[in-house]
Amino acid sequence: MKLRDVKYLSEQNQVVVNDLKKFTTLKLNHYPIPLSFGLLDEYMIVDPTDEEESLLSTSFTIIYNNKGHLCNVYKPGGTILKDEILKKCMDKAKQRTIAIMDMLNEQKKD
C-alpha cells in the first residue's frame, strides 16, 4: 500500500503534502485480525449477523495479530462478562486468527 508523502508541521499543527507525485510505502509490522462475539442468554455467538446482534445481551470484539499477540478487547457496554466466557472467547479468537492467517498465506503462494 502506498501513501502520499507528507510532513507534519508541529508549530501549525498541520499536515502538508510534500509532492503530489511522490508516495511512500506503508510498512506494517503486524496485521490485526478482529473477531466479534455476542452473548444470547448463556450462548456464545461468533461473528453474529445483524439480526442476531439485535437479540444479544452484550457484544464485544477481540483482536489478535498475525504474531499471536492480543491487541485489544472492545466491549461497549452491555452485561458483565464472566471470566470463563471471556477466556473461551479469547481462545476462539486466537484460533480463528491462526486459521485466517493460514488462509491468507496460502493465497499468497498461489
| β-pair partners for 24 | 3
Instruction: Please give the grid coordinates belonging to residue 110.
Output: 498461489
Residue 21 lies in a domain: no
- Residue 66 domain boundaries: 32-109
Q: Are strands 32-40 and 14-25 parallel, antiparallel or unpaired?
A: unpaired
pLDDT value, residue 54: 93
Give the Cα separation of 75 and 29 in Å (integer): 25
* Mean pLDDT in order along the chain per 10 residues (110 residues): 83 85 84 94 91 94 95 92 94 95 84
pLDDT value, residue 15: 87
Residue 37 lies in a domain: yes
Which CATH number belongs to the domain containing residue 96 in this structure? Answer: 3.30.230.70
Residue 94 lies in a domain: yes
pLDDT value, residue 8: 86
pLDDT value, residue 6: 84
Q: How many domains does the chain have?
A: 1
